[in-house]
Structure 1
Amino acid sequence: MLKINIQDKLKEKGLNKNQFAKLAQIGYPAACALYDGKTTKISFDTLESVCKVLECTPNDILSSDDPTYQRLMTYAYYINKLQNTKGDTE
């Protein structure tokens, strides 16, 4: 199952749930559900807003217990890292 985890990112940014809700322009109950990992669906608009506020990509906040998804995310991480490293040397 795909899950969203924003707790660590909120702590890094020094934001509480209320501040996050205002910045992401979502309701406080929705912010709490995201924070608690109880969200079962999310619109692309909301996901984009969350990522902008937390200055991250969906890969940074989405996780899954599905081994196939985990493998794909690992590949995506290394490809992104390789691209960033390549850009540093150009």
Structure 2
Amino acid sequence: MDGSKSVITIKEYGKISIHLKEIMDSKGITRNYLARISNTRFEVINKWYNGVVEKMDLDILARICYVLECSPADIIKYDK
């Protein structure tokens, strides 16, 4: 690999954004309800809701998708 796409050499490589709030609000689902029904701590759901997830737990993501009947691509977006 020539390193042309190295994170070190690219100043702007984009970001991942979380759009759980929009989905929950459109379905009328509260953070407390989602935490309870997905067997997840409120603090964890609150971080997802506010888009401040530092490390992604795929099990949590799967539970959220199951409850909300959506796909990970509905929640997570990559913006260049």
Taking structure 1 as the reference length, the TM-score comes to 0.67
In 1: Cα distance, 2:22 partner to 2:31 partner: 12
Could you tell me which runs of 5 or more consecutive residues in structure 2 were left unpaired when the two chains were aligned: 1-14
Secondary structure of 1:53 counterpart: helix
Which residue number corresponds to residue 44 of structure 1?
58
Q: Match of 1:29, SS?
A: helix
Distance 2:19 2:38 in 1: 15
Bigger relative contact order (CA 8 A; separation at least 6): 2
Structure 2 residue 42 is matched with structure 1 residue 31: no
Q: How does 1:1-90 map to 2 (within 5 A)?
A: 1-66=15-80
Structure 1's unaligned 5+ residue stretches are: 67-90
**Structure-2-length-normalised TM-score:** 0.74
Between Structure 1 and Structure 2, the one with more helix by share is 1
The letter for the 1-side match of 2:39 is Q
Segments of 4+ moved more than 2 angstroms: none
How many residues were matched structurally?
66
| RMSD (Å), alpha carbons | 1.1
The corresponding residue for 1:69 is none
